[in-house]
Structure 1
Amino acid sequence: MADSFSLLEEDLSCSVCCEIFREPVILSCSHSFCRACLEESWSKGGMQDCPVCRRRSSRDQPPPNLALRHACETLLREREPKDTPGPAKEPTEEPAEESAKNATEGMVEEATGELSQSENTSHRGPQGVCSLHSQKLQLFCLEDECLVCVECVLEHADHSFCSVGKAAGQRREGLRPQLEALQEKMAAFSKAELTCDKMAAHIRVQTQRAERQIKEEFEKLHCFLREEEVERLAALKEEEEEKNKRMKERVDEISAIMSSLSDTIMAVEEKLAVNDDVSFLQSYKTTMERTQSVPEDPQLGSRALINLAKHLGNLSFQVWEKMQKAVKYTPVVLDPNTAHPSLYLSEDLTSLRCEDELQSLPDNPERFDIYRDILGSEGFTSGTHFWDVEVGESDDWRVGVASESVSRKPKIDKESGLWAVGACNGEPYNMKKNTQRIRVSWDKCEVSFFGLSPYIHKLKTIQHKCTERMYPHFYLHDAQTLQILPGNISLKVENHTV
């Protein structure tokens, strides 16, 4: 009996103070502690984590564990000395068993609230004694679901009874599946919580990587724009220097002519000022010839100013057009949130390779976790779409299209919603011969596959019912690289005529 009490006390003791629980509270990890012990632990540690498993609590104020509190109160009442001796107990029943029975019943009542009615009809008194007859509660009424003493039997005419031990045993057995179901539910929620924590951590990693790559890409663009700015300013400066040089040469030429004209004017003025008619007439012919030998009027010439139209006209468009040579466009961008953990993607999300070491990735609903598949990021329901893929020397690959509802988790038919060709162990899969480059074309619920080496040739055409959004699909199962090839960028400007 002492051993039974000891085991029961151990189960109902706080792991912090090692005493019977006082005002027990329960954490999300299912561990319980005295409220005062937990608050003291949190105050000293500065973290709201479980003192046992160190898991972070999701609540600042943990809820009370009513079932555990009731069981502890029952145990404490059993340990208290009695003021008046009660009826003699049968040797087959020990206080520890009765305490465990009452504790179990208390937990069920507190947890489910389904026995409130039977509690009203029961004749239980303190410490398992009938409140009406002061007799030990030795029987259990099956119809009223309550404990009775031998004198209460007359009040339960035509009812069926069983021993307290049998009733408690049956109800313990009935409660265990419910407990197991709750434990399974708790495990499912714990797993979901861990998945959410992992996804939150992965979101931080994704954000950091994306931020770094965005900065790198924009730095490339900024560098291109800075170089283009320097180049265009240099061209403007060069034209300015050329035009200034030509203008200076013209000014020097005009200055020389003006100097010559000034000399001629002064000479004529001097001749006109001569009063000696004979002398004037003797030099007249020479003076007249000098006045008639003058240059033509100055011409400034065209294209002397800066060609602003060349430097400023459609400036942004010209820079953007030139920028196309420095960037590439890929018709399909891989979606890393769908990738199997064994698939490693390039930073620009246009190529993938398969490795044996699995990445630590969250098990989000979009992710393939059995098959080594991945989808494109953009889906389509209409129009014509095609993309080229370099598969190289891979012996185990597939490319094609997949429906939005294609299976991504175990125990589902993989082929449902998937239309693809490729290779399996080096042998052609769903086509007649292998190829190192392939084009996938989708148009109006028809997917066609073309080999691109050494020339374009059709490999296969598949018709399917188009009832949902389709996505580019890729599969790789060896240590090779699968590369989506960039598309050609063309610029078309429409001419506007009046």
Structure 2
Amino acid sequence: MASSLLVEDLTCSVCLSIFTDPVTLQCGHSFCRWCAGEVLAVQPRCPQCCQAVVTEAQDLPSSFILKSLAEKARGDWSLQTDRAQAADLCPEHEEKLKLFCITDQQLTCIICRDSEKHERHKFKPIKEADAALRKELETFLQNVSGDISAVEGLADRQREEISKSRKKSENLMTQISNQFREMHQFLTRREKQIENELKQKQEDEMKRMDESLRAVETVLCENRELQVKVNSALEIKDSESFLKSWTEDENRKAKRASFRPRAKELRVENTSFSLWPYESHLQFFVWKEMLEIIQPRAERLSLSNNSGQTVISNIGRSLIWDHAKDRSESAQRLQNANYNAGYSNSYSSINRQHNYVAPAISGQAFSSSQFTSGQHYWEVDVGSADCWKLGINKYFLDYDGQRYAVCDQGRNRNITISNTPQKFGFYLNCSSQQLSFYDADNMTHIDTVDLMPHSVPTSAYFHFQDRDANHGPLTVCWY
């Protein structure tokens, strides 16, 4: 690296060769004396920085330091050339390199082949080694080229997937914006409707109370007018004048004759208008109204294919214990226990004497409809059930009363849920082959499992296993 930098620094920028009798101009740039003379004869300026030169080339002093360095660099260059020419000779035996040691992967001479250093090594003539290596490299190059083509194909597919992902993201963004806009429009419309209803009720209420106020004020005005007239008559002290004044005023006499207390006939109209549930349950009632415009809704599943000690409710939404069947099996277990023990004691006595524990009661069911394609979401209310499994066949959320686990093809993986939800949501995406679990009480994601190929068509799966028949039921939420 130092030699290459030295040669570059000692090269004339005009002839591009190592300096010959170098001279230095006033600006500090150096050139061969002959090159400087040729350039300055045409234009008296430095070829590099274009600064004016007032001295003739033959009068410029020689740069002895550059001259010495240039001669040394020229000698090193010659030595390197000689070494390059001698590279075809064995550096150890100075014989021509005619063989290729396959073991050491290097060129050798004939003497090297017989030396102890290369004992038992394999050799080939240079031309044969050249042909063999070229063939290997050509095969290797084909492999590299093939891999490049495959990688380019992967890159193209990845770019295509990136493009698809961006497009899908844009479409989803548009879809989400449209759906939120529909909800906003619905809420804005309902807000206006409820506000108008409130205004109309307020106007009707104010009209009714205004009419009552006008009636009260009319009676009040008439009574005050009569009061003034009576007071003015009473102010007359002379008896003759008083009687004459009162008897001659027919209008006053008529009003006195027709007067009756009106206070008990009048009443204050209290405010009574109401928006009913909108006053206290506005959000809930509007949410219920909003369910009518939501598409798609949660699946309204019905259960079937029941087995075990459970039955399905009449409307097909709940999985509950079959108490009659449970009592029958309990009686049979009691009879077997009596027979085996040789006692005629009661069931409780046998339990006490033999520590008899009733086995866990269990049952399962599937949804009557199958999921074959698309996306599906349903919710299940677990109520007071302590032990259950919910999801689809072979993929479900498992709760044993203490811990939650995700079951994936028979493999259980424990998970942590911060609270104890009563409602769980299940989102099945048949396209991406995934099943996700949600806390439906606050709509937070719990976990997602990848389904094995050909997992659909499938059905929703419900399973009970408990010792307390009073627990449950499991109920599909319908909205």
Q: Which structure has the greater CA radius of gyration?
A: 2
More helix, by proportion: 2
TM-score under structure 2 length normalisation? 0.43
TM-score under structure 1 length normalisation? 0.42
